């Protein structure tokens, strides 16, 4: 099948490779064109414009950094046609990125007005999981579009969960999942600060509570990074984590749901930004919490 793939960051690269390997005719596009090389080497075609990547493609995927980048790609601009112009009637745009529920709703409507379909299919997992095709993908959109997208998503993830006809629901599930992780990070950060000032090793504590209570691989991996204070290289940049928490709080605001823990995590991540930690892994939230407790690491 001919498919387009727009946005070739660490995640997009890895995911597009699986489509190529599965034998699809993949047209790729990225703002910085060099990033297309490994895919072209593997058999993909480099499109010169977003619209070219969409041309004749039944499905086009986007994996872009934020709402603004996706809006640009969809609408085009400066005499550049965008995805809406490039796709034909009945074609499907699948957004894999973590975007706002508000943009998801707007794109659903915009594509519908052009006789096209929009599917929100955000993914759980880091670049390593993307490379190993072990992502979990949560997809929502109308039945016809999901039917078209699902086999392609299954090439890229080990599990595809269909969430119904409303795309923003998939984005909300993704944002809320990220919030749970950020909350875990905050809880571990405060715990570690307390333990350290009482001369108890965070690592020993983690072994006890995760070994006997949580038994969770995510507590294991995040908790270990934090105990060892390995905040670089980043698995997920703090600046991006803050962006996601902002999107969550915007959704909560619209729904009139106070999320004081969301606000707390936001404020700590924002403090991390102000202290110059935006390029560290987002578990570096723990440094803010430690510094607030007067702990100065060498």
Report, as residue numbers or ranges, the catalytic residues. 174
**Within 13 Å of residue 270, how many CA atoms lie on the same side as its CB?**
8
**Within 13 Å of residue 154, how many CA atoms lie on the same side as its CB?**
8
The smaller minimum CB distance to its own copies, of residues 2 and 196, is found at 196
**Exposed, middle or buried by CB within 10 Å (0-12, 13-18, 19+), for 294?**
exposed
Task: State in angstroms the smallest separation of the CB of 49 from its own copies.
Answer: 29
Task: State in angstroms the smallest separation of the CB of 229 from its own copies.
Answer: 17
φ/ψ (deg, to 5) at 54? -85, -20
Sign for the pseudo-dihedral over CA of 216, 219, 222, 228? negative
The smaller minimum CB distance to its own copies, of residues 19 and 160, is found at 160
Task: State in angstroms the smallest separation of the CB of 262 from its own copies.
Answer: 6
Task: State in angstroms the smallest separation of the CB of 219 from its own copies.
Answer: 7
The smaller minimum CB distance to its own copies, of residues 126 and 230, is found at 126
φ/ψ (deg, to 5) at 38? -60, -30
Strands 59-62 and 2-6: parallel
The smaller minimum CB distance to its own copies, of residues 42 and 165, is found at 165
φ/ψ (deg, to 5) at 30? -145, 145
Task: Give yes or no for a contact between 192 and 227, defined as CB atoms under 8 angstroms apart.
Answer: yes
Binding site for its own copies (CB under 8 A): 101, 124, 136, 138, 159, 161, 163, 168-169, 172-173, 176-177, 179-181, 183-184, 186-188, 190-191, 193-195, 197-200, 204-205, 208-209, 212-219, 246, 248, 251-253, 255-264, 266-268, 270-271, 273-276, 288, 292-294
d(CA 229, CA 221): 12
d(CA 64, CA 123): 12
The smaller minimum CB distance to its own copies, of residues 61 and 124, is found at 124
Task: State in angstroms the smallest separation of the CB of 31 from its own copies.
Answer: 24
């Amino acid at each position: 099948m001919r498919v387009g793939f727009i946005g070739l960051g660490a995640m997009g690269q890895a995911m597009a490779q699986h489509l190529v390997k599965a034998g699809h005719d993949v047209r790729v596009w990225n703002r910085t064109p060099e990033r297309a090389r490994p895919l072209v080497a593997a058999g993909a075609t480099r499109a010169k414009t977003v619209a070219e990547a969409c041309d004749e493609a039944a499905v086009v995927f986007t994996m872009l950094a934020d709402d603004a980048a996706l809006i640009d790609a969809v609408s085009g601009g400066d005499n550049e046609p965008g995805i809406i112009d490039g796709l034909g009637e009945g074609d499907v745009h699948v957004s894999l990125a973590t975007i706002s529920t508000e943009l998801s709703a707007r794109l659903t409507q915009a594509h519908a007005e052009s006789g096209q379909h929009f599917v929100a299919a955000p993914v759980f997992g880091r670049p390593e999981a993307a490379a190993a095709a072990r992502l979990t993908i949560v997809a929502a959109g109308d039945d016809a579009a999901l039917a078209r997208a699902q086999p392609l998503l299954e090439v890229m993830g080990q599990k595809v969960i269909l969430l119904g006809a409303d795309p923003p629901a998939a984005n909300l599930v993704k944002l809320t999942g990220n919030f749970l992780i950020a909350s875990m990070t905050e809880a571990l950060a405060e715990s570690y600060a307390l333990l350290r000032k009482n001369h108890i090793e965070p690592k020993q504590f983690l072994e006890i509570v995760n070994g006997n209570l949580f038994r969770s691989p995510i507590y294991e991996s995040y908790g270990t990074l934090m105990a060892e204070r390995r905040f670089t290289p980043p698995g997920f940049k703090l600046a991006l984590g803050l962006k996601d928490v902002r999107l969550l709080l915007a959704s909560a605001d619209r729904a009139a749901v106070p999320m004081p823990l969301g606000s707390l995590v936001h404020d700590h991540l924002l403090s991390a930004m102000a202290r110059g930690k935006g390029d560290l892994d987002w578990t570096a939230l723990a440094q803010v919490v430690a510094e607030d407790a007067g702990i100065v690491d060498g």
